Structure 1
Amino acid sequence: MISGQARVLFAAHSAQPGGAEYCLDILLKGIDRSIWDAEVVFACEGPLVDTPRSLGIQANILPMSWWMGYEPSFWYWRNLVRWPWRVARLARKLRKQKFDLVYTNTAVIFEAALAARVAGVPHIWHVHEMLTPIYWRSLVPLYVIRRCISRWARAIVFESQGALRVFEEDFEQYPAKIRGKRTCEVYVVPNPLRIVPPSVTRRDRCRAREALGISGGEFLILWIGQFIPRKNPKLMLSAYRKSQMPGRSILIMLGDGPLRTELIHEVKTFDQKNKRVILDGFKTNIEQYLQAADVLVLTSSEESFGLVLLEAAGFSLPVIATDSGGPRDIVDHGKTGFLVEPEDDFAIAHNLAALATNGEMRERMGQAARDRVLNEFTAQRYVAEIQEIMIRTMRRERQCRNRL
C-alpha cells in the first residue's frame, strides 16, 4: 500500500458512451478516494464528463490528437499540429501540481503519455483497442504506435488475451531495432459488466416481445453493432439466409454506419419464407431487445473485447461469436455459447439451427453465461485489479528511483 494520497491524472479520448469510456466511468465510481486524489482530462465534451464532476473529481476538457482513426479534415490537421503545445502544457501541469501517476484510458491518444515521460511521472497505458490495420485507420505506422506504447509506459493493460496476443505477435515481426526494448509490465484485465440486470423470467421475455410487436412463437436472433466492415454485418445476413430453422424466425439488427445502404438492399432481396429481417437503427437503450431475444450473434472479423457479449449474458442469453480476439475470453464454448471461425457463415447457421430447435439448451447456456459473468466480470473486481496495478506501478517507480 502507498502512504498518503497519490495524485493521478486520467486521460480519455472521448466522453461519449462507449466501451472504454464506460470502463473509466466504472473505475472513477469505485476508486478508493482515501488513496487517490484523481483528476480527469477529456479530449471532448460529452455526457460522461458529468460522472467525475458529480463525484467531486475535477474534470477538464483538453482537445487531444487522435493518432489512430484519423479523418482527413481541416479540423483534424489543425488539431494535430498543436500537439507539442499540449504536451508541454500537460508536462508543466504534472510537475507543478506534483502528480504521482498518469493513466491513459485508450491507445487512440498520446499527449498524456508523452507529457508523463517529459515530466518524469510513471504512466499506465490501458489499451482498449486491437492494434491492427483492419481495426484502425492510422496516420502513424502501427509499429511506431506499438513501440511508443511499450516505451512510454511503466505498465500496459489489455482488455483481453486476444488483444495482447495480436499486439505481441504483430510486433515480433519487426526487427529488434524497430521494436526497441520493452521494460514495462503487461497485464490483462477484462472489462466489467456495466449494469447487472435482474434475472429474466419467461414472463419478462413475453412482455418485452409484446412491446416490440414480436409473437411468442418466433425465434428471435439479435445482432448489435456498427454497420462497418470490421463488425461484418453482411456475414450475419449470409448465415441467417443459410440457416435451416423450423418455424418462423426474425433477425433484428441494431446499429448504423456506412454499410447501411448495402444492408437495406440485401434485406429487400431477402425473400425466404418464415424469415424476416429488421434493421432497427442505433439504440441507446438495448435492454428491451436483450430481454426479448433468444440468442445474440457477434460476427466481427476482429474484436478487442466484445462488451455486448457480457450484456447478453447478463440477460441469460446464449451467444454465437466469431473467435476474433476478445470473445474467446468471454465465451466458454459449448457451455455459455458457441465460438466459430471468422467468416464461417455455415458454422453460425448450424449453431442457430441447434439453438432454435432446443429450448432446454438455450436456457442452460443462458443461465451458465449469466452465472459466469456475475462471478468473473464484476465492476468490483475490475476496480480492485486496476487499483492494484496502479499501486504496483507507483511502488516499482519508487524502487527504481531509490536504486539511482
Structure 2
Amino acid sequence: MVKTRKKLLIIHSSDELYGSDRILLEVAEALKDDWNLEVWLPVDHQDGEQRLFNELRRRQVAVIHIDMPILRRSLMNPKGLTRFAGLFPGMVRRMRAAHADHVYLMTAACLLFAPLARLAGVPHVTAHLQEPWGTREAFILRKLSFFADHRLAISQTVASSTGLRSDSVSIVHNAVPRLAGSPNPEAALIEGFEQPLYLIASRWNGHKGHETLLRAWETAGHPGKLFILGSAPQGNDSVDVPDLVRRHVSDPNSVQIVGQVESPEAWFDAVDCMILPTDTIEGCGLVVIEAFRHGKAAIVSDSGGPAEVVSHKENGLIFTPKDVAGLARLMKTTTKAELQAMGAQGRRCYERNYTPERFHQAIRAEVSRLDPVV
C-alpha cells in the first residue's frame, strides 16, 4: 500500500527572485521528494514579472497568489492593521481547507501566520528567519515567533538580533546552486580589461549602499570598471541609481548600469570582484556566496552576515559601513592579481560551507527533527 505524503505549506513574503526568494527554491528542492508541497505568494510585493511564481511552476511545485497579511513596515499603521484584521478570519478558513501537516514561514514578515496556523489546527510551524530584527519590531516578532515549534536563522547576526535564547534558534547557512550554463555575449565583451572589474548586484534599495559605493568610486579615481545589476523595487525605499551615477561620478564611462538580467551568473564570471556596500545590517548577503561560487573575491561592509562569510584579506575585504574613504582606499590599492588570489580562496570556502548538497541535508534534518516524514 502506498503511503500518502504529508503536506507542507510554504508561505513567503514576495514574488521576486532575490535572496530570500532563491532560498525558498532551495528549501522546496530539499523537501519536494518527501513532502506534498504548496506555496503561497502575496499579491502586493512582486517585481512585475512573477519570476518566483514562474520558476516554482517550472519546477512543478504547486503555487498560488493570495491576498494575505504580510508584515511590512509600510503597513504598520492603523489603516494597515485594520486591513490585517479583516483578512484574519478568511486566512484561518483557508488554512484549514489546505489540510497542511506543517506550515513553513520563509521570512519574519510571514510570522502573523504562526498564530493563524495554530488557530487553524496545523500541528507544526517552522519559521525561517532571514532578516535582522530592528529594535522596534523585535518585541512583536518575538511574541509571534513563540507560536512556531521551530526557528531557523540564516546567520548568527540574524539569530542574535531576535533576542531569543540561543538554544531556541538553529543556524542553517544559506547556499547557492552549482554553476550551469555559459557566459552571455555581453559579459564576454569585457574580457581582457587590464584594471579590476567590479560588480554590484542587488535591489536598488536605500540601505544597500549604492551611494556609498559611487562616492567611493569617484574618490578612488574610477579604479577600473563598475557594473551595476538590479532594479528598483516597489515601495518607498527604492533609490534612483542612474541619478546617483550622474550626481557622483565624473567619468560615466567607468560605470555601466546593466539593470535586471535573466542570467546574472554570466556577469559574476566576467568580473574580478563583487561589492556589497550595505549601509545598515545584512542578514547574509547571498551575493557573497555567489561570488565565491564563481571564484571571485568579495568586498563587503561590516554589516553583519557578510562579515561572517568573508575573511579579511583571505577571500575578500571588509570595510566600515558608510566609510567612503575606507572603501575607496581598498579599491585603489588592491590589484587585479590580488583579487584573483582571494577569489580562489573564496571558491574553496564555497565548497566547504555553502553548497546546495550541504543546505538540503541540513533543511531535511531540521524539518524531520520536528516532524518526521516516516
TM-score by length of structure 2 reads: 0.83
Aligned residue in 1 for 2:288? 309
Aligned residue in 1 for 2:161? 166
User: RMSD in angstroms over aligned alpha carbons?
Assistant: 3.3
* Secondary structure in structure 2 of the residue aligned to 1:289: helix
Aligned residue in 2 for 1:236? 213
Quote how far apart the aligned CAs of 1:197 are: 4.9
Quote how far apart the aligned CAs of 1:216 are: 1.8
Aligned residue in 2 for 1:190? 173
**Is the alpha carbon distance of 1:196 and 1:76 closer, same or farther for their aligned partners in structure 2, counting shifts above 3 Å?**
farther
* Secondary structure in structure 2 of the residue aligned to 1:339: strand
Equivalent position amino acid for 2:273 in 1: V
Post-superposition Cα deviations, 1:191-228, rounded to whole Å, max 9, x if no partner, equal: 11134257x9xxx79x765525x762233222222332
Quick one: distance in 1 between partners of 2:283 and 2:253?
32
Structure 1 contact 114–152 (Cα < 8 Å) conserved:
yes
Structure 1 contact 223–253 (Cα < 8 Å) conserved:
yes
Equivalent position amino acid for 2:126 in 1: I
**Is the alpha carbon distance of 1:328 and 1:156 closer, same or farther for their aligned partners in structure 2, counting shifts above 3 Å?**
same
Structure 1 contact 153–184 (Cα < 8 Å) conserved:
no
Quote how far apart the aligned CAs of 1:363 are: 2.0
Quote how far apart the aligned CAs of 1:49 are: 3.0
1:73-222 equivalences under 5 Å are 80-93=84-97, 97=99, 99-118=100-119, 119-132=121-134, 141-149=137-145, 151-168=146-163, 185-197=168-180, 211=189, 216-222=193-199
* Secondary structure in structure 2 of the residue aligned to 1:41: strand
Post-superposition Cα deviations, 1:128-187, rounded to whole Å, max 9, x if no partner, equal: 222227xxxx9xx442122212x111111111111112222xx7xxxxxxxxxx798311
Quick one: distance in 2 between partners of 1:48 and 1:269?
34
Aligned residue in 2 for 1:400? none
**Aligned residue among 261, 274, 277 for 1:299:** 277
Aligned residue in 1 for 2:6? 6
Aligned residue in 1 for 2:235? none
Structure 1 gaps of 5+ residues are 172-181, 396-404
Equivalent position amino acid for 1:187 in 2: S
Structure 1 contact 87–111 (Cα < 8 Å) conserved:
no
Identity %: 19
Quick one: distance in 1 between partners of 2:117 and 2:85?
19
**Is the alpha carbon distance of 1:79 and 1:379 closer, same or farther for their aligned partners in structure 2, counting shifts above 3 Å?**
farther
Aligned residue in 2 for 1:224? 201
Equivalent position amino acid for 1:291 in 2: D
Structure 2 contact 30–364 (Cα < 8 Å) conserved:
no
* Secondary structure in structure 2 of the residue aligned to 1:124: strand
Quick one: distance in 1 between partners of 2:162 and 2:76?
26
Quick one: distance in 1 between partners of 2:139 and 2:262?
35
Structure number with larger C-alpha Rg: 1
Post-superposition Cα deviations, 1:250-298, rounded to whole Å, max 9, x if no partner, equal: 222223434316x6255355336x9833333333432332222222211
**Is the alpha carbon distance of 1:27 and 1:120 closer, same or farther for their aligned partners in structure 2, counting shifts above 3 Å?**
closer
Aligned residue in 1 for 2:319? 340
Aligned residue in 1 for 2:261? 283
Aligned residue in 2 for 1:260? 240
**Is the alpha carbon distance of 1:318 and 1:57 closer, same or farther for their aligned partners in structure 2, counting shifts above 3 Å?**
closer
Structure 1 contact 225–255 (Cα < 8 Å) conserved:
yes
**Is the alpha carbon distance of 1:6 and 1:209 closer, same or farther for their aligned partners in structure 2, counting shifts above 3 Å?**
closer
Quick one: distance in 2 between partners of 1:72 and 1:226?
22
TM-score by length of structure 1 reads: 0.77
Quick one: distance in 2 between partners of 1:302 and 1:43?
25
* Secondary structure in structure 2 of the residue aligned to 1:59: strand
Aligned residue in 2 for 1:319? 298
Aligned residue in 2 for 1:28? 28
Quote how far apart the aligned CAs of 1:105 are: 0.9
Equivalent position amino acid for 1:63 in 2: D
Quick one: distance in 1 between partners of 2:155 and 2:140?
22
Structure 2 gaps of 5+ residues are 233-237
Quote how far apart the aligned CAs of 1:37 are: 2.7
**Is the alpha carbon distance of 1:217 and 1:43 closer, same or farther for their aligned partners in structure 2, counting shifts above 3 Å?**
same
Quote how far apart the aligned CAs of 1:120 are: 5.0
Structure 1 contact 231–302 (Cα < 8 Å) conserved:
no
**Is the alpha carbon distance of 1:53 and 1:281 closer, same or farther for their aligned partners in structure 2, counting shifts above 3 Å?**
closer
Quick one: distance in 1 between partners of 2:348 and 2:188?
27
Structure 1 contact 69–108 (Cα < 8 Å) conserved:
no
**Is the alpha carbon distance of 1:27 and 1:365 closer, same or farther for their aligned partners in structure 2, counting shifts above 3 Å?**
same
Quick one: distance in 1 between partners of 2:370 and 2:162?
21
Equivalent position amino acid for 1:339 in 2: I
Note if 1:372 corresponds to 2:371.
no
